[in-house]
Amino acid sequence: ETDIDDRYGDLDSRADSDVPEIPPSSDRTPEILQKALSGLSSRWKNWWIRGILTLTMISLFFLTIYMGSFMLMLLVLGIQVKCFHEIITIGYRVYHSYELPWFRTLSWYFLLCVNYFFYGETVADYFATFVQREEQLQFLIRYHRFISFALYLAGFCMFVLSLVKKHYRLQFYMFAWTHVTLLITVTQSHLVIQNLFEGMIWFLVPISSVICNDITAYLFGFFFGRTPLIKLSPKKTWEGFIGGFFSTVVFGFIAAYVLSKYQYFVCPVEYRSDVNSFVTECEPADLFQLHSYQLPSFLQAVLRRDTVSLYPFQIHSIALSTFASLIGPFGGFFASGFKRAFKIKDFANTIPGHGGIMDRFDCQYLMATFVHVYITSFIRGPNPSKVLQQLLVLQPEQQLSIYRTLKTHLLEKGLLQPALKV
């Protein structure tokens, strides 16, 4: 233990100034943009680069929406893997000189294990009909959690076997680093896909609200910002924060109105085994049908009308966009603190003018959790498909017992008529 402290110092007592610096990332701005904007100041040059790349990303996002829900799921999975890679790479670069054995291999192995667990749960929840027709899948679903735990234990044992004298403390730091990264990326991306299955509108409105807040807060801050908001992000201003809030609420309200008109966006995403694809066809729920609402007296005088027709989802959109603009930015502040701790400007240099993928999606992860909790708390109850899946794996005697109990309950509530005795 004395050799460890002599060679590496006490890492627990390190000050921020002692943290190893990561070499600055190279500028990946396309050469054609560099030449076109060469005459501008660095401030306006960055503004144009961010603007052009933002419009490009939004266009690609619209194209992905047009291609359907399955492509959106692949997009979420791709973003998850890239964000994980960016955070893990920071840890690897910071402590690269220590040459930790098996760090990268084990990190990616744990990513695979956690994805297997979460997406296996999704298959069990939303693909019950398909699973029932495949005997091998029935085995995997029935023992899914045991298999997932066994896979994790294998990784855990590999980590213990990889421990090397003089590297113990750092190896445990990196073990914790990997697990926190998994919590941030995989868990939240899984919730994004869960929201998507409830209807594309639950995916689009929250995500677009965060994007709108990010863009409008930047614009208001760029042109009108004078008052610093938080020390973690010196460029963030109160003017940008407040302007972004009002813009996002208005945007969310309008976007909810437009999207609520179309089955493609409001119907739950379901897998149809007969056509072997995802479908979004249904009778829209009451949440997505126009209702008349009585206006408060002071608004009646202003608008000169007593009632207004709205989709109930528009009211929910106010809650979603408010969270996106008031609490969502704290995900960005958290990411800023993380980057400051390791003396880096961006997580990566994937997107010129923006940084890494994680730099663009740091606020989205808080949003995903909120939407999932909001849906389960205020919109729907337990998933019928999951309950049915659990019933089908019970013993016949247990299924009959549940059937009799349910029948008695429905008879008592008058939902079933008692059979006539002949």
285/176 Cα distance (integer angstroms)? 44
Q: Record the tokens describing residue 167, joined without a space.
A: 């590297």
Per-residue confidence (pLDDT) for residue 99, from 0 to 100: 67
User: Does 172 share its domain with 300?
Assistant: yes
User: Does 35 share its domain with 55?
Assistant: yes
Within a domain: 402:
yes
Helix (H) or strand (E) holding 74, with range, is helix 69-94
Q: Which domain holds residue 58?
A: 16-383
Per-residue confidence (pLDDT) for residue 117, from 0 to 100: 93
23/386 Cα distance (integer angstroms)? 49
User: Does 302 share its domain with 419?
Assistant: no
List, for residues 389-409, the tens digit of each pLDDT value.
678 778 889 989 999 999 888
How many domains is the chain built from? 2
Query: Which residues, in sequence order, are CB contacts of 399 under 8 Å at separation 6+?
Result: 391
Q: Record the tokens describing residue 419, joined without a space.
A: 């059979």
Residue 11 confidence class, pLDDT cut points 50, 70, 90: very low
Give the helix ranges, DSSP H, for 260-383.
263-266, 297-303, 312-326, 329-341, 357-361, 364-374
List, for residues 166-180, the tens digit of each pLDDT value.
788 888 888 998 999
Phi-psi region at 352: left, alpha or beta (left = phi > 0; alpha = psi -120 to 50): beta
Within a domain: 284:
yes
Contact, 295 vs 306, CB < 8 A?
A: yes
- In Å, how far are 16, 207, 409 from 86, measured between CA atoms? 21, 21, 54
User: Does 340 share its domain with 412?
Assistant: no
278/387 Cα distance (integer angstroms)? 21
Residue 31 confidence class, pLDDT cut points 50, 70, 90: low
Contact, 326 vs 317, CB < 8 A?
A: no
User: Does 299 share its domain with 411?
Assistant: no
Q: Record the tokens describing residue 147, joined without a space.
A: 């298999």
**Average pLDDT, rounded, for the chain:** 82
- In Å, how far are 215, 318, 320 from 289, measured between CA atoms? 31, 17, 19
State the amino acid at position 179 in one-letter form.
Answer: H
Per-residue confidence (pLDDT) for residue 253, from 0 to 100: 96
378/367 Cα distance (integer angstroms)? 16
User: Does 276 share its domain with 400?
Assistant: no
DSSP state of 377: I
Per-residue confidence (pLDDT) for residue 371, from 0 to 100: 94
| 351, β-bridge pairs | 355
**Count of Cβ atoms closer than 10 Å to residue 388 Cβ:** 12
User: Does 314 share its domain with 325?
Assistant: yes
Within a domain: 400:
yes
User: Does 317 share its domain with 408?
Assistant: no
User: Does 331 share its domain with 406?
Assistant: no
Per-residue confidence (pLDDT) for residue 275, from 0 to 100: 66
- Lowest-confidence range among 34-48, 53-67, 111-125, 234-248? 34-48
User: Does 180 share its domain with 231?
Assistant: yes
State the amino acid at position 364 in one-letter form.
Answer: Q
Within a domain: 6:
no
Q: What is the mean pLDDT of residues 104-133?
A: 82
DSSP code string of 190-241: HHHHHHHHT-HHHHHHHHHHHHHHHHHHHHHHHHH--SEEETTEEEEEHHHH
Q: 90 vs 7, which has greater pLDDT?
A: 90
Q: Record the tokens describing residue 307, joined without a space.
A: 């009632």
168/1 Cα distance (integer angstroms)? 10
Query: Which residues, in sequence order, are CB contacts of 375 under 8 Å at separation 6+?
Result: 195, 198, 202
User: Does 334 share its domain with 273?
Assistant: yes
Per-residue confidence (pLDDT) for residue 34, from 0 to 100: 65
Contact, 306 vs 294, CB < 8 A?
A: yes
Dihedral (CA of 93, 94, 95, 101) sign: negative
Within a domain: 9:
no
- Coil, strand, or helix at residue 39? coil
Question: For tokens 């969310």, what's the residue?
Answer: 252
List, for residues 155-165, the tens digit of each pLDDT value.
999 999 988 88
Within a domain: 2:
no
For the cut 70, the answer to whether the pLDDT of residue 27 exceeds it is no
Q: Record the tokens describing residue 222, joined without a space.
A: 């760029």
User: Does 362 share its domain with 395?
Assistant: no
Within a domain: 38:
yes
- In Å, how far are 18, 211, 248, 255, 277 from 262, measured between CA atoms? 56, 22, 22, 12, 19
Residue 98 confidence class, pLDDT cut points 50, 70, 90: low
218/210 Cα distance (integer angstroms)? 12
DSSP code string of 155-204: HHHHHHHH--TT-HHHHHHHHHHHHHHHHHHHHHHHHHHHHHHT-HHHHH
Query: Which residues, in sequence order, are CB contacts of 64 under 8 Å at separation 6+?
Result: 71, 72, 75
